[in-house]
Structure 1
Amino acid sequence: MKKSSKSLVEKLKRSLDTKPPQRLQGAEFASDSCSVAGDYGIGIGYSFSQILSFCIVLALTIAVYANGLDGDFLVDDRPLIVETSDLTLANGLKRFFLSGMWNFSSLHISDQVLYRPVFLLFLALQKDAFGLQPVGFHIVALLLHLLNCVLLFAFLRRLFPQATAWAPVLGMAAFALHPIHVEAVSWISAQSHLLATGLVLGALISHIRFVEGGSWGNLAFGAILFLLGTLSQEIVLAYPLILLALSLLLKDRRHAIGAGAVAASLLVYLAMRRVVLDFTVPAYPMTWAKWQTFFEFSILSIRNLVIPWPQPFYLETPHGEVGPLSIAATLLALTAAWWGIQTGRGRNAMFMGILWILLGILPSLSAAFNSPPRYSLRCLYWGSGGLAVLVTWMAAVGTHRIHRRTIFLGVGLLLLASAMAVVVANRTWQNDATAYGAAIRFNPDSSAGYEKLALFYERGGHLAKAIENYQSAAQRSSGDALATNLENVGHLSAMSSLIPEAELALRQAALLAPTRSSIWVGLGNVAYMQGHLEEALKLYQRGFALDQGNYEACYNLVLVLTKLKRFSDARKYETKLATLHR
């Protein structure tokens, strides 16, 4: 094939004024080429110092994430992996492609908006391999993160061929050790972000091979990888726009052809969603308040990319999170962009990094239109690849040795701080107690964290702590949610023989939700424990009248009627009991 089209590398060479790096005394092999990039046909040699620094970054990444390998299943992991028998390859592969993601969980949510069959398949493979041992899942997640670092490094090395050998290593390190990635790497259910990012980075490298004169097979392979990425996580949906922006920046029709190919893959993905979920894009309410939340989420994303501490975890995102730190981070980012424009060097690379960030986080910002809106750090994983491009560009455009040393020293100190932050942040993802504790710290006015933490303690048999957290949740809720929290306080208090507290909580719940069968059954249990059998009978009958499918109400009616020696009435309920599912 004739390479009449100018390559991405050649065009970026013109915009980068840097000279080829000087040979470091004793730091390189005798040959300039070490040929360790052959996996993707990227034929640029690697110096010994670059290989060494590359390996050091990977080793450091493993070290800082090692304390997260003993983490338990938590939050969504339980309904998605632990509490369901549907997530297995034993029942066939095609069924993963025929329904929404949560149909395979213990929740069986009817309102489906997530379609991630490749991710489900990936989880099923792990569950079949490791069973319910979370350490296997965590090792796979860390390996995926390392693979993504390698792919990103290969791309950066090709993007900045004349930059100093350290520049792409710094860019990769910024990605590998960025604290915002802890949620994606250490939370098993967030593996979808790692998987989709790896697939689309592979698609990007395949696209570059096509642009630089590769075969049409490279184009097709990249389109397939992108399709698999979209079927893993929606966060990568804007990738075609990144390629389209490249074609406009570099004025190369082959970039436009590549953008068209992945756009075709995107149409296939949307068609699959339409067939399976009966819609392509969920209809979100576009109110002014939602757009305000969208703006807040955008600023929060910039802040967390630039100043990634503290690391929030939200079950419900509070309003007014755009504080001084977010504004400072935004101003810092704008200043850096202005400086880049003023330097006049490598503008195309700078613009690509900025577009990658903006378009990379765009799909995640749709969460601002959810009810309730929920901001997630894991959604920045793919978009932060653009930050790696910008870090590499900043290192590449330095013209004076002191300038470069200043950059490397500053970035090095930041990476050291980032590594320490990763180690600390990993402890948030040890179990439900640490995760929901973080949710409470970052939004103490929300009942969601207290409810989930109470459920964790209840599941572990720590009833006193569960009651305490349900009470805290009740103080922060209203309506049906308040009734549910009071009911839970009542049931657990009864189980703990705290009879007055149980009766008070259940009667308060009954005032809020008088048609809820389970509340009256709970009050019946309290009366039964006090020896008031006739009162218990009336309460059980009221609960059963409200819901004749309530197994506990029917069973307790048999029990109390037998105690009262009303055997004929008890037999009627026994007959009914045989038809109910426990």
Structure 2
Amino acid sequence: MTSLDPTQATSLNPGATKSLIAIGLAGLTLLLYQQVQSYNFVNFDDYEYILDNPYVRHGLSMDGLLWAFTHSYSFNWHPLTWISHMVDCELFGLNPGAHHMTNLLIHAANTLLLFHVLHRMTKALWRSALVAALFSIHPLHVESVAWISERKDVLSAFFFLLTFLAYFRYGRKKTAGSYLPVLLFFALGLMSKPMIVTTPFVLLLIDFWPLKRDSEPAVKLILEKIPLLLLSAGSCMVTYLIHSSAGSISTMPLSIRIENGLVSYVSYLWKTFWPIDLFCFYPHPLAGLGYNAVGAGLFLLVITSAVLIFARRLPYLPTGWLWFLGMLVPVSGIVQAGGHSMADRYTYLPLIGIFVLLCWGFTDLLDRVPLRARWRALLAIFLMLPLPAITYKQIGYWRDSVTLFQREIELTGQKHIGYTHLGSSYDLMGKRDLAIANLTEALRIMPDYEEAHYCYANVLMGKGDFVGAEKEFSRVLSRNPKHYKAWNNLGLVLVKLGREKEALSSFISAHRIKPDPMTEKNIQRLLNALKKSEGIR
């Protein structure tokens, strides 16, 4: 019985209470996010992942399944995520609302799984319910749910939570047979998104609390994680090789990457308690953060020290806090890939640690206050009340590309990136005058911004100005010879200009940098055309 239990004075049995809570959590999640069923694909990976990917777009096939397991694509190897998108396309075609609903249903399942796993491990029904409610409704989780391309986030979380449930059962039986599901679910999670590589570390944390296995020899607890650590090491190696071969690993100084990581940790904490002004792309500062980084480092050190001091008396503190710190390490930017400094989606699983810390700490604090259980429950609801309203509004920004990137322009300090995103989106919509206006503004702000020149070249290609497009693509490639999309599109332009052999060279350059179904098709089509042409001659 916990201090938040409002059913203490009722005749409800624990099983019925748990069922009612589960129904409430599922209903709350579905009601809050139901608006996504009318939303569109957005020009933020959705085109590359689904609309422009023939293996996914055509639904389930043997070729598609083989491709998913044997190829990296868009700097990722996550075959189960690709297969889940293929299933959507097989069942629903390119209906974006149905794809959104799949994300939502997995998020709802994750909410219920989290509630069940925490309750099984801790026997604390209402605290577990509070953690699951925060997980369901927190605004920082909108990006993972309302963005179709983040299927990998919700899907990997599903297998992550199943790994924990299987581990709990293994802890009771400690047999080889009960360990196999742990390995299986973890492997499936890694094949959905490699961010969960720190799972063995988190399992060690729950050995301390709530499983209370710290009386067992530490060597034994570590040794039983070795198979999981080997899977993590393999996933890390594959991910690094993919990014390294594509040239997406940043070469900026390590000191800058560490400083950004420290500031990002504190930013995530701030946004947990004040989830305002969230948007889709937080650009990397590309420079040292000086006193901000020092302050962030000291802040994290003080909290970590306090947590360790109270570890024995309040064991949920180190588990929750180190869960948060540890799960963010793979995306902390120490190994930087991409141009972002942080991302809301990265908090989807790490924030569970903070939610546990808060909910257990909150109820322990209330135990010192002479309030009846129902008043305590009402107080908890009152404190959480602003979150659904903020989340509902945040979900609305993912309605379509224009809404999403207008929000980015409103909030970002590097507006040339937002104008580039918006200009590219207008181009895809066929509104080329608006595309040119936004891309021109991006280039006015940042004349040498590579991605704006690339998108501008695409607009010129769409308008039939192939000479101008060739000039812009060549400019992009002179600055970044590994821009595989520019190589591919330059090839398309050269075909239009009648320079087929140069075009073939461009397509091959694109394919060498990043094997891609579209470049494969372009190469094959051009080779067939050249053979036919030579045959005629």
TM over 0.5: yes
Is 2:158 the partner of 1:198? yes
Residue in structure 1 matched with residue 67 of structure 2 by the alignment: 95
| Residue correspondence of structure 1 range 347-362 to structure 2 within 5 A | 347-362=314-329
Shift of 1:199: 0.5
Residue in structure 2 matched with residue 552 of structure 1 by the alignment: 496
| Residue correspondence of structure 1 range 390-405 to structure 2 within 5 A | 390-397=357-364, 398-400=366-368, 402=370
Is 2:130 the partner of 1:170? yes
CA deviation map 1:210-239 (0-9, x unaligned) = 213364322210121011111111221111
Go from structure 1 to structure 2 and tell me whether the alpha carbon gap of 1:452 and 1:168 turns closer, same or farther (over 3 Å shift).
same
CA deviation map 1:243-299 (0-9, x unaligned) = 223445641438875654454134235446757985798965452222222222222
**Separation (CA, whole Å) in 2 of partners of 1:174 and 1:235:** 21
Query: Which of 134, 138, 143 is matched with 2:100 structurally?
Result: 138
| Residue correspondence of structure 1 range 267-416 to structure 2 within 5 A | 267-268=230-231, 270-271=233-234, 278=241, 285=251, 286-314=253-281, 316-318=283-285, 347-366=314-333, 369-397=336-364, 398-400=366-368, 402=370, 408-416=377-385
Is 2:418 the partner of 1:449? yes
Is 2:91 the partner of 1:129? yes
Shift of 1:346: 6.0
Residue in structure 1 matched with residue 481 of structure 2 by the alignment: none
Is 2:114 the partner of 1:152? yes
Residue in structure 2 matched with residue 65 of structure 1 by the alignment: 33
The letter for the 1-side match of 2:159 is L
**Separation (CA, whole Å) in 2 of partners of 1:95 and 1:226:** 22
Judge conservation of contact 2:323–2:350 (CA < 8 Å) in 1: yes
Is 2:50 the partner of 1:81? yes
The letter for the 1-side match of 2:228 is S
Is 2:80 the partner of 1:118? yes
SS at match of 1:101: coil
Shift of 1:53: 3.7
Is 2:202 the partner of 1:238? no
Go from structure 1 to structure 2 and tell me whether the alpha carbon gap of 1:276 and 1:177 turns closer, same or farther (over 3 Å shift).
closer
List gaps (5 residues or longer) in structure 1: 1-16, 35-46, 103-111, 496-501, 517-545, 556-574
SS at match of 2:279: coil
**Separation (CA, whole Å) in 1 of partners of 2:311 and 2:233:** 40
Task: Give TM-score, length-normalised by structure 1.
Answer: 0.70
SS at match of 1:232: coil
Judge conservation of contact 1:315–1:449 (CA < 8 Å) in 2: no
CA deviation map 1:475-510 (0-9, x unaligned) = 123337365566567678x77xxxxxx9xx969x78
CA deviation map 1:520-546 (0-9, x unaligned) = xxxxxxxxxxxxxxxxxxxxxxxxxx9
Q: Which has the larger radius of gyration?
A: 1
SS at match of 2:437: helix
Query: Which of 395, 407, 428 is matched with 1:459 structurally?
Result: 428
Judge conservation of contact 1:192–1:233 (CA < 8 Å) in 2: yes
The letter for the 2-side match of 1:309 is I
CA deviation map 1:328-361 (0-9, x unaligned) = 9999999998998898886112221112211122
CA deviation map 1:537-568 (0-9, x unaligned) = xxxxxxxxx9998133239xxxxxxxxxxxxx
Residue in structure 2 matched with residue 28 of structure 1 by the alignment: 11
Go from structure 1 to structure 2 and tell me whether the alpha carbon gap of 1:485 and 1:344 turns closer, same or farther (over 3 Å shift).
closer
Shift of 1:402: 3.8
**Separation (CA, whole Å) in 2 of partners of 1:137 and 1:483:** 32
Query: Which of 47, 51, 56 is matched with 2:24 structurally?
Result: 56
Residue in structure 1 matched with residue 184 of structure 2 by the alignment: 224
Task: Give TM-score, length-normalised by structure 2.
Answer: 0.76
Judge conservation of contact 1:447–1:472 (CA < 8 Å) in 2: yes
SS at match of 1:253: coil
Judge conservation of contact 1:152–1:172 (CA < 8 Å) in 2: yes
Go from structure 1 to structure 2 and tell me whether the alpha carbon gap of 1:484 and 1:175 turns closer, same or farther (over 3 Å shift).
closer
The letter for the 1-side match of 2:141 is H
Shift of 1:148: 0.8
List gaps (5 residues or longer) in structure 2: 479-489, 500-528
Judge conservation of contact 1:318–1:443 (CA < 8 Å) in 2: no
**Separation (CA, whole Å) in 1 of partners of 2:208 and 2:298:** 27
Go from structure 1 to structure 2 and tell me whether the alpha carbon gap of 1:136 and 1:260 turns closer, same or farther (over 3 Å shift).
farther
Shift of 1:405: 6.3
**Separation (CA, whole Å) in 1 of partners of 2:476 and 2:305:** 62
**Separation (CA, whole Å) in 2 of partners of 1:487 and 1:89:** 34
The percentage of counterpart residues that share the same residue type is 19
CA deviation map 1:75-117 (0-9, x unaligned) = 1111110112122431342331212132xxxxxxxxx4x2211
Query: Which of 404, 408, 417 is matched with 1:439 structurally?
Result: 408
Between Structure 1 and Structure 2, the one with more helix by share is 2
Judge conservation of contact 2:320–2:357 (CA < 8 Å) in 1: yes
**Separation (CA, whole Å) in 2 of partners of 1:359 and 1:219:** 23
Judge conservation of contact 2:146–2:395 (CA < 8 Å) in 1: yes
The letter for the 2-side match of 1:435 is L
Shift of 1:141: 0.9
**Separation (CA, whole Å) in 1 of partners of 2:476 and 2:238:** 42
**Separation (CA, whole Å) in 2 of partners of 1:424 and 1:329:** 30
Judge conservation of contact 1:100–1:276 (CA < 8 Å) in 2: no
Shift of 1:63: 1.0
| Deviates further, 139-148 or 483-492 | 483-492
Shift of 1:438: 2.4
Go from structure 1 to structure 2 and tell me whether the alpha carbon gap of 1:23 and 1:271 turns closer, same or farther (over 3 Å shift).
closer
Judge conservation of contact 1:167–1:395 (CA < 8 Å) in 2: no
| Residue correspondence of structure 1 range 102-113 to structure 2 within 5 A | 102=74, 112=75
**Separation (CA, whole Å) in 2 of partners of 1:272 and 1:94:** 19
**Separation (CA, whole Å) in 2 of partners of 1:252 and 1:485:** 60
| Deviates further, 396-405 or 309-318 | 396-405
Judge conservation of contact 1:317–1:374 (CA < 8 Å) in 2: yes
Go from structure 1 to structure 2 and tell me whether the alpha carbon gap of 1:412 and 1:489 turns closer, same or farther (over 3 Å shift).
same
Judge conservation of contact 2:243–2:337 (CA < 8 Å) in 1: no
The letter for the 2-side match of 1:128 is E
Judge conservation of contact 1:313–1:442 (CA < 8 Å) in 2: no
**Separation (CA, whole Å) in 1 of partners of 2:302 and 2:188:** 37
